[in-house]
Amino acid sequence: MPKPIYVLNGPNLNLLGVREPHIYGKTTLDDVRGLCEVRAAALGHAIDFRQTNSEGTLVDWIQQARTDAAAVVINPAGYGHTSVAVLDALKALTIPIVECHLSHLATREDFRRKTYVSLAATGLVSGFGAKSYELAIEAAADLISRAAS
Q: Does the annotation mark 81 as catalytic?
A: no
Q: 123-126 and 5-9: which strand pairing?
A: unpaired
Q: 6, 45, 79, 101: which one is catalytic? A: 101
- List, in sequence order, every residue forming a beta bridge with 50; answer none if it has no partner: 8
Give the other-Cβ count within 10 Å of 71's Cβ.
27
From the list 24, 79, 116, 133, the catalytic residue is 24
Helices marked H in the chain — which ranges?
Answer: 21-24, 29-42, 55-68, 79-82, 84-91, 131-148
Residue 79 annotated as catalytic: no
CA distances from 1 to 45, 94, 148 (A): 10, 20, 15
Active site residues: 24, 101
